[in-house]
Amino acid sequence: NCFKMCGLIGQGCGGKVYLALNVHTKQQYAIKVGKISKRSFHNYQREIDVLRSIKHDNIVAIRGVIENTKATCWVMDFMNGGDLLEDLHKNKKYTEARAREVTTGILNGVSYFHEHGIVHRDLKPENILLDKCGKVKIIDFGLSTRVSDQEFLTTKCGTITYMAPEVLRGEPYGRPVDVWGVGVTMFIMLGGYHPFHEPNLSKNNILVMKGCYKFYESHWRGVSCEAKIMIHNMLRVLPTARLTSKQALNSSWLREDDELTGSFFASRARKYIGMKK
């Protein structure tokens, strides 16, 4: 009774998401409502258990759970910037600086839950939320699962246009599938189109399994070689050749901002020291 529903803000196979107002604190939240069924109950419980076990600035926080015999509702932070796909529809594509900022946020979250033995299995722009300041949070852990370093997964799940080659082939897989999803997302941010965009799904799956995509000059003019190299290393067909989330965080493209910042302050420091002499 402490929440007032203010309207539907999202909908997917996992349930409906409503904007809600805490009538006591006047703070806005997102409430996800999932109808209980034999098939969905396990996914809901898994998502709740995973979100309760992890805490990170780039992963949506669960603030409470309301359950009855008909539905499960979980209260989460409201991100007032919408999802990444919506933002990309507005902006067509991102500058490298903006894409770098978003990619860093995503990879920070992914690296964190990978370290905690969790694989998301459905990373895509729709599952990345933004606030008005552009801060990133990963959502929708309904397909996530725990896996040890020695274990592999076999269930074919996720969004088919973001599935890694090994998942499409029906091969055992693990954490690298999430890096593939980040690679596809980064490609869309910088290029403005999906790397695998063949209308025929069967043909498209073949392109994915072969790792066939193109950096069209008309879309990629001005984008750095470092960015393309990072995408290439996240979209490697062989999972063992793909960057890990931690390796991706240490890539030269993501470190570029730090290097530029360091050079800027070093230059300012030299200038200041010169003035003092």
Does CATH place domain 3-77 in 3.30.200.20? yes
pLDDT of 269 higher than 70: no
Listed in sequence order, the residues at least 6 apart from 212 whose beta carbon sits closer than 8 Å to its beta carbon are 196
The total of other beta-carbon atoms located within 10 Å of residue 170's CB is 9
Q: Where in the chain is the domain with CATH 1.10.510.10?
A: 84-258
Alpha-carbon gap, residue 167 to 178, rounded angstroms: 11
Listed in sequence order, the residues at least 6 apart from 189 whose beta carbon sits closer than 8 Å to its beta carbon are 84, 88, 93, 94, 98, 99, 102, 103
The whole-number average pLDDT for the span 110-138 is 95
pLDDT of 261 higher than 80: no
DSSP for 107-125?
Answer: HHHHHHHHHTTEE-S--SG
Q: What global pTM score does this model have?
A: 0.88
* Residues with catalytic function: 122
Answer whether 190's CB lies under 8 Å from 99's CB: yes
Alpha-carbon gap, residue 79 to 19, rounded angstroms: 10
Among the listed residues 31, 182, 75, the one whose alpha carbon sits nearest the alpha carbon of residue 120? 182
pLDDT for 271 equals: 41
Better-predicted residue by pLDDT, 26 or 41:
26
If you search the block for the tokens 């929440």, which residue do you land on? 3
pLDDT tens sequence across 131-144? 988 899 999 998 99
Answer whether 105's CB lies under 8 Å from 135's CB: yes
Domain 84-258 belongs to what topology? Transferase(Phosphotransferase); domain 1 (1.10.510)
**At 259, is the secondary structure helix, strand, or coil?**
helix
Q: Where in the chain is the domain with CATH 3.30.200.20?
A: 3-77
32 is in an annotated binding site: yes
Give the chain's count of helices (H) and strands (E). 10, 9
pLDDT tens sequence across 35-51? 777 666 777 788 888 99
